[in-house]
Amino acid sequence: MSSDIVIKVENLNKCYQIYDQPRDRLKQFILPGVQRLLGYPSKNFYQEFWAVRDVSFDVRKGEAVGIIGRNGSGKSTLLQMITGTLSPTSGTVSTQGRIAALLELGSGFNPSFTGRENVYLNGALLGFTRGQIDEKFDAIAGFADIGLHLDQPVKTYSSGMMLRLAFAVQVQVEPDILIIDEALAVGDALFQKRCFQRIEKLLSNGTTLLFVSHDQESVRTLTNRAVFLKKGKVAAYGASSDVVLEYRKQLHLDESAYFSDVAKQLSDKAAKTSVAASGLVVGTSVLNAGEGLPVATSRSDQLSFGDGEAKILKVETLDLDGVAATVFYPGDMIRIKVTCQSAINTDKLNVGVRIRNKEGVKIYSWGTLNQDIAERAGNSGGEIFWSRQATAGEIFEVELEMQCSLGVNLYEIQGSISYEDTPDYAAQRILHWVDEASFFQVLMRREEYFFGGVSDLKMRARW
């Protein structure tokens, strides 16, 4: 293994034997051997479930790699094999350096020991002497910040306190490889912020990170590369932004398949009453459920998905006078014009945008439904876009307007048109989503007006 590769996974497989009944385990233990002894073909009394199938990838020193996938896709099983707590059925895992892992919450803790005793126990498991842990103990206790509970049995801890102590131990010992499996999800927002700051510091010091999370933005911004697991197999592997996009597409396909099944059942139950009576045609997706990801013919095809009953034709940025523009300054008015076309007769539409900076951080998301919600709450009597009727083949435009309060950066606009069954984002179905629909740049006239950061908070000084 190359000296700069600290984790190498080659053709990794994990198979579990699933038994229908407990007595089948006894049958499997005895009967196949007897059958072979008597010259009969042996019979298995179990079904095979492959939790991980033919997974291969490598991670270099100091690299951050995310692992994403739906529940049951094999993420935790993969991590357990990498850490050595689970043996693979076949394939190999090679690692270099000390591994610290946050897998199942509280794993590695003795519930009857106090927090203090568990700190020394975990330190010993990681290869540290008592003297070395003594030197780090104050830093561990300070980061965990659980006060007097440190001398109470761990079994009395809440899940948040357990996380604080476990994370504090793992990061303060400065591992060569840090593995985190969804554990941070139970922490409060302030502690999560401290955790991410600590992770960033470890990465800058050369620690390698394997990070599992359902939070797509965290994976996109914290990691360089990502692995998308689907039913135990690698569905995508590469740059985090590209892999997260493939994951979002798959989530959309799965959701479409689910709602298509529900719609079919309701339709059959109602003697094949057309769902189109409400103005929404179900099941005419451009991306038909179950067919997998579409074959992309261009860069733009790879960046869009949706059910196809309406689509975004174009997204443009305009200045205050309605002239096309791509460069703006703080205080300027930015108009985002979204041109759409409906393929069906329908209402309950929502046209929206999401704005991200070049680092991939979501800055803002907003749509016509947000304005509708405010109109309804204020009872102002203004026009509600959600109630607007669109006809088949109609092309229409929506302008979203904002005053620029953004910092210097390059910004991406993602456009979307969705069907909202209720006017509150509680039942959304994406009809068309387009990444990289448009771009604009924000510059600053430093001699006239200046601020730092991602957004202008319009501070004022008094004295």
Lowest mean pLDDT, pick from 136-140, 238-242, 268-272: 268-272
Phi and psi, residue 181, nearest 5°: -120, 90
For 277-289, write each residue's pLDDT tens digit. Answer: 333 333 333 333 3
- Determine the Cα–Cα distance for residues 443 and 426; give it in Å rounded to an integer: 37
- Span 314-335, average pLDDT: 93
Burial class (CB in 10 A: 0-12, 13-18, 19+), 268: exposed
Q: Read off the pLDDT of each residue in 221-229 and give the average, rounded to a whole number.
A: 90
- Give the per-residue pLDDT at 261: 62
Which residue is associated with the tokens 């014009």? 337
* Beta-sheet pairing, 177-181 with 208-212: parallel
In CATH, the number for domain 306-442 is: 2.70.50.60
The answer to whether residue 80 scores a pLDDT higher than 80 is yes
Name the least confident of 144-158, 242-256, 284-298, 394-408: 284-298
The per-residue pLDDT for 189 is 67
In 3-state terms, what secondary structure has residue 247?
helix
pLDDT surpassing 60 at residue 307: yes
Confidence band (pLDDT; 50, 70, 90) for 314?
A: very high
Distances (CA, A) of 66 to 112, 363, 418, 463: 34, 22, 29, 48
d(CA 44, CA 401): 66
**What is the reported pLDDT for 249?**
83
Q: What is the mean pLDDT of residues 87-104?
A: 85
Confidence of residue 294 (pLDDT cuts 50, 70, 90): very low
The values of phi and psi at residue 339, to 5°, are: -100, 125
Cβ-Cβ contacts under 8 Å for 369 (sequence gap 6 or more): 350, 352, 385, 386, 420, 423, 425
* Summary mean pLDDT of the chain: 83
Residue 117, H or E segment: helix 115-125
**What is the tens place of the pLDDT at every residue in 337-355?**
999 999 999 999 999 999 9
| In the chain, % of residues over pLDDT 90 | 37
Look at 43 and 121; give whichever has higher pLDDT: 121
- Can you give the pTM of this predicted structure? 0.63
Q: Where are the domains of the chain?
A: 306-442
pLDDT digits (tens, 9 = 90+) for 423-442: 999 889 999 999 888 999 99
What does the alpha-carbon distance between residue 283 and residue 307 come to, in Å, rounded to a whole number? 8
What is the chain's length?
A: 463
The answer to which of 11-25, 29-43, 403-417 has the lowest mean pLDDT is 29-43
CA distance 152 to 160: 15
Strand duo 64-68 + 208-212: pairing: parallel
Greater model confidence, 21 or 88? 88
pLDDT of res. 392: 94
Return the ∠ at Cα 307 (arms to 268 and 351), rounded to 5°: 120
Structure letter (DSSP) for residue 455? B
Contact 107, 80 (CB under 8 A): no
What kind and span of H or E run contains 137? Answer: helix 130-144
